[in-house]
Chain A
Amino acid sequence: MIRPSEPIIIVGAGQAGVRAALALREQGYDGSLLLIGDEPQLPYERPPLSKQVLLGSREPDQCTIGGADLFMEQDIRLLTGVRVERIRREISSIALDDGATLAYSKLLLATGGRVRTVTVQGAGLAGVHYLRTIEDALQLKAQLLPGQRVVVVGGGFIGLEVAASARTLGCSVTVLEAGERLAARALPPQLSEKLLQLHRARGVDVQLQSRIEAFAGTTVVQGVALEDGRNVPCDIIVVGIGIAPNVELAVEAGLAVVNGIRVNHRLQTSDEHIYAVGDVCEFPSALTGRTMRLETWRNAEEQGKHAARTLLGHDENFSALPWFWSDQFDYSLQIAGEPHMAAHCIERPLTDDGLLIFFLNEQQQLVAACGWGRGNSIAKDIKIAEILIKARRTIAHEALADPAIGLKSLLKGTSDA
């Protein structure tokens, strides 16, 4: 392996950036390696923030992706609390907010995203929260006391996970969703309905088709005024309406950016020395070739690992399937593949209110699967579905629909089985 004279620099110390750094070492890179994050803490995982951290079952130091020792052992120079101000491609260097300039051999952008904010009247009142960072989670956790009236704006996964946590902590919770069903962008209607039934059964007041007019209050929030004239009194508001990718550095540097930093199959940007991974990048789907941007833990992991290989000169296409999970109370859901490609949809009912939904294209090939069930009961089936999707085999509808036929038996003949 040729050791470059300048370091590989990774901008962004979230899941994707950290995984890329660790994977570079696992794959034998022994040159200089620098990981830069703008948050002050050691790098941490975000999925526990809306669940275990809010519920108090996990402390912040239990969310770290390895400790300080790991980065020392791996000889990864970690700069925290530092912001990259500019990329100067013409001299292959970056400028930091402390005035330093650092040269790179290759640059990996893993700058992630930031929460979308509301702009309604009262948006700046005390008691209005967002959840993206560990600081956000700790501030919110301190407010979620029994009896507090919590309004969650947004019926997507983050909003619903916060609603479940707040309800479990004894708060009275209202979810206000502008759309006709929950998590509509990610879920088929059947699973939106399962989510709705579960939340209502656990005492969450879910209000669909509710558009926000303003947040009421003088200094502290006291309620939410809706466009239809209703008012929902509350003590706390949590806004969960998605994230926006942090593309500013890339835009200013003149890299191709559309919905995210555009990369090719190797996760390389329009500058061959600069790569991008995770929430911030827009990449070609392995199934369709269409560009997509994913805000998921698994995508960050897989792209971080893949970028490490391509940074070291391997010419390999990124081929991982989209995959996502969410925990809601004591249920979980998982989605693998791309449901929007489906021409047919097959349901397989499971015991204990569980459900699998398979999505096939016109050639009867499985292109996606969703599962809903208690605990991790559907995890095994979704993993098998992933293998079937990758194998691009045609599968009979009857076999998918029949709970008596083990999915594993359908793997026979697939190359990954």
Chain B
Amino acid sequence: MSHWIAACAVDDIEQEDVARFDHEGRTFAIYRSPDDAFFATDGVCTHEKVHLADGLVMDHIIECPKHNGRFDYRTGKAQGAPVCVSLKTYTVKVEGDRVWINLD
């Protein structure tokens, strides 16, 4: 069963950037790629639990703000030490000026 939630406005995130979205005690990171696609992952790094939205997006990679942990935010895949556990990803859709994520 899908569980769509409006996360933010399209204009809240610049191209090649990330924003934090909190919902019912959970934290997510919403990404806007250089080619204007939106993606979503769990919001904290699997290594040291810091918020990924404080990190730097370069192309399709998010780098955690503390320890250089890198993930491909399209797949959630960890890109090497010190992170080894990948991020959970969520389906995203854009309707009008809103970005929605499916929490299931």
Q: Which A residues form the contact surface with B (CB < 8 A)?
A: 19, 22-23, 26, 297-298, 301, 305, 325, 375-377, 379-380, 383-384, 408, 417
CB distance from A289 to the nearest CB of B (A): 24
A26–B80 touching, CB < 8 Å:
yes
Q: Top 4 closest A-B pairs, CB basis?
A: A379-B65, A376-B54, A376-B65, A383-B56
Excluding A298-B68, A325-B66, A379-B66, 15 further A-B contacts by CB distance (< 8 Å) are A19-B81, A297-B67, A298-B67, A301-B67, A301-B68, A375-B54, A376-B50, A376-B55, A376-B65, A376-B66, A379-B54, A383-B55, A383-B63, A384-B56, A417-B58
Please name all residues of chain B whose beta carbon is closer than 8 Å to the beta carbon of A379 when the two chains form the complex: 54-56, 65-66
Chain B residues numbered 63-104 whose CB sits less than 8 Å from any CB in chain A: 63, 65-68, 80-82
B65–A380 touching, CB < 8 Å:
yes
Q: Which B residues form the contact surface with A (CB < 8 A)?
A: 16, 50-51, 54-56, 58, 63, 65-68, 80-82
In the bound complex, how far is the Cα of B54 from the Cα of A84, in angstroms?
Answer: 42
CB contact under 8 A between A377 and B58, given known A22-B81, A23-B81, A26-B80: no
B51–A376 touching, CB < 8 Å:
yes
CB distance from A413 to the nearest CB of B (A): 15
Find the B residue at minimum CB distance from A325. Answer: B66
Find the A residue at minimum CB distance from B52. Answer: A376
CB distance from A60 to the nearest CB of B (A): 16
A305–B81 touching, CB < 8 Å:
yes
Please name all residues of chain B whose beta carbon is closer than 8 Å to the beta carbon of A376 when the two chains form the complex: 50-51, 54-55, 65-66
Please name all residues of chain A whose beta carbon is closer than 8 Å to the beta carbon of B67 when the two chains form the complex: 297-298, 301
CB contact under 8 A between A380 and B56, given known A301-B82, A325-B66: yes
In the bound complex, how far is the Cα of B81 from the Cα of A281, in angstroms?
Answer: 22
In the bound complex, how far is the Cα of B66 from the Cα of A231, in angstroms?
Answer: 40
CB contact under 8 A between A380 and B81, given known A301-B68, A325-B66: no
In the bound complex, how far is the Cα of B50 from the Cα of A22, in angstroms?
Answer: 23
A and B contact pairs by CB, cutoff 8 A, 10 listed: A19-B82, A297-B67, A301-B68, A301-B82, A375-B51, A376-B51, A379-B54, A380-B54, A380-B65, A383-B65
CB distance from A275 to the nearest CB of B (A): 18
CB distance from A182 to the nearest CB of B (A): 22
Kindly identify which residue among B16, B63, B81 contacts A26, using a CB–CB cutoff of 8 Å.
B81
In the bound complex, how far is the Cα of B21 from the Cα of A380, in angstroms?
Answer: 18
In the bound complex, how far is the Cα of B56 from the Cα of A401, in angstroms?
Answer: 20
A301–B81 touching, CB < 8 Å:
yes
Please name all residues of chain A whose beta carbon is closer than 8 Å to the beta carbon of B54 when the two chains form the complex: 375-377, 379-380
Question: Which of A23, A298, A375, A379 gathers most chain B CB within 10 Å?
Answer: A379
Find the A residue at minimum CB distance from B18. Answer: A380
Please name all residues of chain B whose beta carbon is closer than 8 Å to the beta carbon of A23 when the two chains form the complex: 81
In the bound complex, how far is the Cα of B55 from the Cα of A380, in angstroms?
Answer: 5
Please name all residues of chain A whose beta carbon is closer than 8 Å to the beta carbon of B68 when the two chains form the complex: 298, 301
Find the A residue at minimum CB distance from B82. Answer: A301
Please name all residues of chain A whose beta carbon is closer than 8 Å to the beta carbon of B51 when the two chains form the complex: 375-376
In the bound complex, how far is the Cα of B84 from the Cα of A22, in angstroms?
Answer: 11
Please name all residues of chain B whose beta carbon is closer than 8 Å to the beta carbon of A325 when the two chains form the complex: 66
Please name all residues of chain A whose beta carbon is closer than 8 Å to the beta carbon of B56 when the two chains form the complex: 379-380, 383-384
Please name all residues of chain B whose beta carbon is closer than 8 Å to the beta carbon of A408 when the two chains form the complex: 16
Find the B residue at minimum CB distance from A19. Answer: B81
CB distance from A356 to the nearest CB of B (A): 14
Question: Which of B51, B58, B65, B67 gathers most chain A CB within 10 Å?
Answer: B65
Find the A residue at minimum CB distance from B63. Answer: A383
In the bound complex, how far is the Cα of B55 from the Cα of A26, in angstroms?
Answer: 25
In the bound complex, how far is the Cα of B16 from the Cα of A384, in angstroms?
Answer: 13
Please name all residues of chain B whose beta carbon is closer than 8 Å to the beta carbon of A377 when the two chains form the complex: 54
Please name all residues of chain A whose beta carbon is closer than 8 Å to the beta carbon of B80 when the two chains form the complex: 26
CB distance from B71 to the nearest CB of A (A): 15
In the bound complex, how far is the Cα of B53 from the Cα of A379, in angstroms?
Answer: 10
CB distance from A340 to the nearest CB of B (A): 24
Please name all residues of chain B whose beta carbon is closer than 8 Å to the beta carbon of A384 when the two chains form the complex: 56
In the bound complex, how far is the Cα of B63 from the Cα of A379, in angstroms?
Answer: 10
In the bound complex, how far is the Cα of B83 from the Cα of A26, in angstroms?
Answer: 13
Find the B residue at minimum CB distance from A417. Answer: B58
Please name all residues of chain A whose beta carbon is closer than 8 Å to the beta carbon of B82 when the two chains form the complex: 19, 301
Find the B residue at minimum CB distance from A323. Answer: B68
Please name all residues of chain A whose beta carbon is closer than 8 Å to the beta carbon of B16 when the two chains form the complex: 408
Please name all residues of chain B whose beta carbon is closer than 8 Å to the beta carbon of A19 when the two chains form the complex: 81-82
In the bound complex, how far is the Cα of B50 from the Cα of A301, in angstroms?
Answer: 18
In the bound complex, how far is the Cα of B91 from the Cα of A217, in angstroms?
Answer: 64
In the bound complex, how far is the Cα of B67 from the Cα of A298, in angstroms?
Answer: 7
In the bound complex, how far is the Cα of B80 from the Cα of A23, in angstroms?
Answer: 10
In the bound complex, how far is the Cα of B54 from the Cα of A297, in angstroms?
Answer: 20
In the bound complex, how far is the Cα of B31 from the Cα of A131, in angstroms?
Answer: 40
Please name all residues of chain A whose beta carbon is closer than 8 Å to the beta carbon of B81 when the two chains form the complex: 19, 22-23, 26, 301, 305
